Chains A and B, each alone.
Chain A
Amino acid sequence: MAVSADDILDVVAQEALVDKAKLLPDETLESLGIASLDIINIVFALEDRFGVVLEQSEFEGVHTVDDLVKLIQGKTGE
């Protein structure tokens, strides 16, 4: 299932209570105030929404919004 970046950002905005317009590709999650616990909430929501399983270890290299989008898209086959 191909998942669009827009669908992923919807989940991020909702789970981290961040304005979606601020989720620019090069923005770091840290600069957006998205803490590690928020990332886990985001991941679990993404799993439920897109039917994938993501382990915490896979997130070690994720720093920017684009990193996150690419990881999810990689898992969902796009």
Chain B
Amino acid sequence: MSAARVAVTGLGCVSALGQGAAATWAKLAAGQGGIRPVMRGFRDDPRYTVDGPAAAIEGLDGAALEAYAGKRVLLQMDPVAAFAAVATHEALLDAGLLETPGQLADASVIYGSASGGNLTIEEAYGRIFLKGASSIHPLTIPKYMGSASVSQLSMLFGIKGLAFATSSACASSAHAIGEAMHMIRAGRAQIVVAGGSDASISFGSWLGWKALQAMSPQTCRPFSAGRNGMILGEGAATLVLEDMDHAIARGATIYAELAGAGASSDAFHLTQPDGEGAVKAMRQAHADAGVALGTPALISTHGTGTPVNDKMEAEAIGQVYGDALARHRVIATKSAHGHLLGGAGAIEFLVGLQALRAGLAPPVLNYLGPDPECDLPLALGAPQPIAAEVLVSNSFAFGGLNSVLIARRV
């Protein structure tokens, strides 16, 4: 028996580009971004204020989720879980899986987060250190734990199969999607909800990224001359993955086939990439998907906008594709939605699928000019028509944890 094919049958997301897959794609297709100056205070204290460019969500709209699960649904969630819940509600509704109770009893959920509930931790410890209180909120740990989102999703939507969180820094949700694909191929589940979220535009996290000297004080300009760092984003993206035969039998909308995945680890450095792992993961994904390197592809890069990472990724892509690279188009949507950390792989895969279906490459934003060290066929300027047959979506995380996903048009 050959392994099951895997369909993508539901999409949901929230980020600085807006709420919902349609609104998100509308912004990207118009060449618009969500990075802007952000001031976000902690306890209204000017000493503890996030102040700089970021891709922040201003005002999560929980109305649809509250109509489904009750008006108190978001009260006990850190934003990391609230984003996950809103995005997953959208994806399941989109997939037609919320119409009858019990439809998801046999489903699984794998959901990624790089850093869990930052705001909850800061709020709790702020109470101790700043106010001299001796007690903190009893839900502090259940709200910040790395698996908080996945537990909320299981409870909210009645998902009773295997459920766990993935945490591999900025590849967390890409690994979630890849492993979900393998679960379906292995016949362990017919439906797996996969994605990831993070909510890290908090003062402590902000200082952490600043200390790493990873953040740009201006904006995110992947592969561009003059690039000087990443821009923190926040949000979530969820995909419903399903056994292809199951999806066809129930008449589901099939957005694409998740055709293959590659994963590798650099075994090299906690923050620096070495490139070999990226090359290995891309080659492995192509082999797994049975997609030739010359098949016209839309390559959605990890593309953080840091000098070192972009150079490494450009070299790795050049090494993998060689002369065939001229047939492909390269995008870097962190220039629009910022870096969603644990949600990055999922939102980039999601918008990559939308681009593949629309035959339109959203441009790399904030581009100043070519960098000879990043010689890639980038989508630049106005959104460009493409004739790609597959999407290749790269996630190369801190600590050298790499994941590459390949989707095929259907």
Contact = CB atoms under 8 A, between A and B. Distances in A.
B43 A48 contact: yes
B134 A40 contact: no
A53 interface: yes
Contacts of A2: none
Contacts of B138: 37, 40
B132 A37 contact: no
A17 B127 CA distance: 24
Nearest to A33: B72
A41 interface: yes
A37 B131 contact: no
Nearest to A47: B131
A37 B76 contact: yes
A31 interface: no
B76 A53 contact: no
Contact of A17 (B71, B134, B135): B71
B137 A40 contact: yes
Contacts of B127: 44
Nearest to A38: B75
Contact of B133 (A17, A41, A53): A53
A29 to B, nearest CB: 15
Contacts of A55: 133-135
Dominant secondary structure of chain B at its interface with chain A: loop
Contacts of A17: 71-72, 75
Interface in B229-269: none
Interface string B118-147: 000000000100011111011100000000
Nearest to B71: A17
A56 B138 CA distance: 10
A51 to B, nearest CB: 9
Given A40-B137, A44-B137, A53 B132 contact: yes
Nearest to A56: B135
Contacts of A53: 131-133
A56 B134 CA distance: 9
A29 B235 CA distance: 35
A23 to B, nearest CB: 17
A48 B42 CA distance: 11
A44 B123 CA distance: 10
A56 to B, nearest CB: 5
Given A37-B138, A56-B135, 11 more contacts: A17-B71, A17-B75, A37-B76, A40-B138, A41-B137, A44-B127, A47-B133, A48-B43, A55-B133, A55-B134, A55-B135
B132 A41 contact: no
Contacts of B72: 17
Nearest to B135: A56
22 contacts: A17-B71, A17-B72, A17-B75, A37-B76, A37-B138, A37-B139, A40-B137, A40-B138, A41-B75, A41-B137, A44-B127, A44-B137, A47-B131, A47-B133, A48-B43, A53-B131, A53-B132, A53-B133, A55-B133, A55-B134, A55-B135, A56-B135
Contacts of A47: 131, 133
A35 to B, nearest CB: 10
Interface in A47-64: 47-48, 53, 55-56
B301 to A, nearest CB: 42
Interface string A3-41: 000000000000001000000000000000000010011
Nearest to A44: B137
A73 B127 CA distance: 21
A56 B72 CA distance: 23
User: Which 3 residue pairs spanning A and B have beta carbons closest together?
Assistant: A53-B133, A56-B135, A53-B131
Interface in B61-76: 71-72, 75-76
Nearest to A40: B137
A68 B139 CA distance: 22
A39 to B, nearest CB: 11
A55 B136 CA distance: 9
B191 to A, nearest CB: 32
Contacts of B75: 17, 41
